[in-house]
């Protein structure tokens, strides 16, 4: 490793042993970075230095910032961190806020000062926040004052959090007051190594305790110079909009990294559910949209009411994009959704094709700079057309913060995201299921998302989740939890119609033998369907019936 620019060596000391790291690939010329670099200079400072500081960086309902204004705000926060709060390079800083210009500035200020950003979802509670504080040994936090209640509780549960500075309020101890000091408008970026940790992004914890994924300064640039450059192919005149929180690496890329790498504009909405995202696209003349498949599907019925003529690129990730949603969106808008699979461990999307190569119903091909393959249970590469585990490597990869689960994710130099895929003869990857979402019924392997995709194509179905339900005779049966569209009734007749619909579309043994109609489905804050919650519900229901 390159000599660190950190004085606090906690992050580097708690990386996994290098023998447990994935093999990193830097095959593209644009992925060759200098040994010493602070990523913020590439995302913001270079635009100011090159005379383009007047370009619009951030648009929000409350304010608009040019790159020069954003650079000054970053500098002022960096000075507060180092001069007033005593941050030394390598210290971790917790951030807590909705998507706002100041949240972005704080995010980058920590990195510019040589610190390690640890952003949190706004809806997390004190118990969850205290876990993060303790795991990452965090002493300082910056927080939107509107979220102070849970932060105050967090300090009680995790007294190692010594100082919280709030913005959006008043008083001499508010962040704005501290930032306003003379001389704080300039700040020289910390002399960090390209492999110094600058971000610890915690996973959602859907499979146990959240894992801290550690990313270097080079990892902020690599997705931009691989996926952004070769797949997204946006321009400096684009205006990015999306729904994911900044604490989610999908959101960080779509909101900050991709637009700032090319000097484009990001539009920040504090909340962006489909009913607010759709009118905002027209209001702010957004051209590139990052959101989840469920949001695209929810927006389709309301498209005639809104002007989305400015929109030219649509990116989907977070969960598999059903072919029915892809086709319905294309029919309604004329645009192909760019599907992709990424992950917190990998920083961003590593499989996804540019628009000219997109094929509905597939995730796409590996992003330039990455390689991917399907392997069998022994880790050997499987023949094309065979269902197996997805393995990937490239310029980014998994390094957990002091976590024994590292060796589960990384094996023999490959990252294993935990997805089951099939690669066809043309090299396209077809999503089957999360590895733990495969349903085994009477010896048949059934991918829940495949059944979901069929059901979503039925006009009565708004949303659905398909999981395995324990069954004494078959081991498991396929069970569908369905949210209906308005005007449809979940009765026996509709259940039979849906079952017949599935039988007609895929192998009959895959049809849902049990159907339950629900008002909503359990989802994460980032919109992912929580199939593990549905599995728990199905298991509890089966146990009650058996007792």
pLDDT per residue as tens digits for the range 312-333: 999 998 777 889 899 999 999 9
- Kindly tell me if the per-residue pLDDT of 208 is higher than 60: no
CA 75, 76, 77, 81 torsion: positive or negative? positive
CATH class as words, domain 435-546: alpha beta
Residue 244 has pLDDT above 80, yes or no: yes
What average pLDDT does range 510-530 have in this prediction? 89
More confident residue, 333 or 203: 333
For the chain, give every residue range classified as CATH 3.30.300.30: 435-546
271/310: higher pLDDT: 310
Q: How far apart are CA 374 and CA 376, in angstroms?
A: 7
> Which residues of the chain are in CATH 3.40.50.12780 domains?
10-412
User: Average of pLDDT values for 279-300?
Assistant: 94
Q: pLDDT above 90 covers what percent of the chain?
A: 80
Residue 397 sits at φ, ψ, to 5 deg, of 180, 175
Task: Decide if 172 contacts 80 (C-beta within 8 A).
Answer: no
Residue 120 bridge partners (DSSP): 96
Residue 205 has pLDDT above 90, yes or no: no
- Take residue 508 and report the two structure tokens written for it: 């009959």
pLDDT tens digit string along 120-178? 988 888 888 999 999 999 999 999 999 999 999 999 999 999 999 999 988 899 999 99
DSSP character for 397? -
Q: What is the pLDDT of residue 206?
A: 47
Q: Which residues face 85 on adjacent strands? A: none
Token pair for 14:
């708690």
Could you give the CA distance from residue 194 to residue 218 in angstroms, rounded to a whole number?
A: 5
Predicted model pTM: 0.84
Residue 238 has pLDDT above 80, yes or no: yes
3-state secondary structure (DSSP) of residue 112 = helix
- What pLDDT sits at residue 528? 79
Q: What is the mean pLDDT of residues 273-300?
A: 94
Mean pLDDT of the chain: 94
Q: Any idea which architecture 10-412 has in CATH?
A: 3-Layer(aba) Sandwich (3.40)
Query: SS3 for 517?
Result: strand
Using the predicted structure, report yes or no on whether residue 49 has a pLDDT greater than 60. yes
**Range 458-472 average pLDDT:** 92
């Amino acid at each position: 490793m390159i000599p660190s620019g950190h004085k606090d060596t906690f992050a580097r000391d708690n990386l996994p042993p290098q023998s447990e790291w994935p093999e990193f690939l830097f095959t593209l010329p644009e992925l060759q970075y200098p040994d010493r670099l602070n990523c913020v200079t590439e995302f913001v400072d270079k635009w100011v230095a090159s005379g383009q500081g007047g370009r619009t960086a951030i648009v929000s309902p409350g304010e608009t910032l040019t790159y020069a204004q954003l650079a000054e705000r970053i500098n002022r926060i960096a000075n507060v961190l180092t001069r007033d709060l005593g941050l030394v390079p390598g210290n971790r800083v917790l951030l807590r806020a909705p998507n706002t210009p100041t949240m972005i500035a704080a995010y980058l200020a920590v990195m510019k000062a040589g610190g390690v950003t640890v952003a949190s979802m706004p809806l997390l509670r004190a118990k969850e926040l205290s876990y993060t504080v303790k795991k990452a040994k965090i002493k300082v936090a910056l927080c939107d004052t509107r979220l102070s209640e849970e932060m105050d509780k967090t300090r009680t549960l995790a007294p190692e959090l010594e100082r919280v500075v709030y913005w959006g309020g008043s008083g001499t101890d508010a962040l704005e007051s501290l930032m306003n000091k003379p001389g704080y408008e300039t700040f020289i970026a910390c002399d960090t190594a390209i492999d110094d940790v600058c971000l610890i992004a915690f996973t959602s914890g859907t499979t146990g305790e959240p894992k801290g994924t550690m990313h270097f300064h080079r990892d902020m640039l690599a997705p931009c110079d691989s996926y952004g450059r070769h797949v997204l192919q946006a321009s400096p005149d684009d205006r990015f909009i999306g729904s994911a929180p900044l604490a989610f690496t999908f959101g960080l890329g779509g909101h900050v990294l991709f637009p700032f790498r090319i000097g484009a504009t990001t539009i920040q909405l504090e909340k962006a559910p489909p009913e607010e995202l759709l009118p905002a696209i027209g209001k702010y003349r957004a051209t590139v949209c990052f959101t989840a498949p469920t949001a695209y599907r929810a927006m389709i019925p309301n498209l005639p009411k809104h002007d989305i003529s400015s929109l030219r690129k649509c990116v989907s990730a977070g969960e598999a994009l059903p072919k029915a949603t892809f086709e319905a969106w294309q029919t309604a808008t004329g645009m192909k959704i760019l599907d992709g699979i990424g992950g917190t461990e990998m920083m961003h999307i590593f499989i996804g094709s540019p628009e000219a190569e997109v094929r509905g119903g597939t995730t796409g091909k590996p992003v330039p700079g990455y390689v991917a393959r399907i392997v069998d249970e022994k880790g050997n590469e499987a023949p094309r057309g065979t269902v197996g585990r997805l393995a990937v490597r490239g310029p980014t990869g998994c390094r957990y913060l002091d976590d024994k689960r590292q060796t589960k994710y990384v094996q023999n130099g490959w990252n294993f995201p935990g997805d089951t895929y099939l690669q066809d003869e043309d090299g396209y990857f077809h999503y089957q299921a999360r590895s733990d979402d495969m349903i085994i019924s009477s010896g048949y392997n059934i991918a829940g998302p495949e059944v979901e995709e069929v059901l979503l194509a039925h006009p009565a179905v708004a949303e659905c989740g398909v999981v395995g339900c324990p069954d004494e005779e078959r081991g498991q049966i396929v069970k569908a939890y369905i949210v209906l569209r308005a005007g449809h009734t979940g009765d026996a007749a509709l259940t039979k119609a849906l079952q017949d619909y599935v039988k007609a579309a895929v192998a009959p043994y895959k049809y849902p033998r049990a159907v339950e109609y629900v008002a909503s489905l359990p989802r994460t804050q980032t919109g992912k369907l929580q199939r593990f919650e549905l599995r728990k519900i199905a298991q509890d229901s089966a146990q009650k019936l058996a007792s």
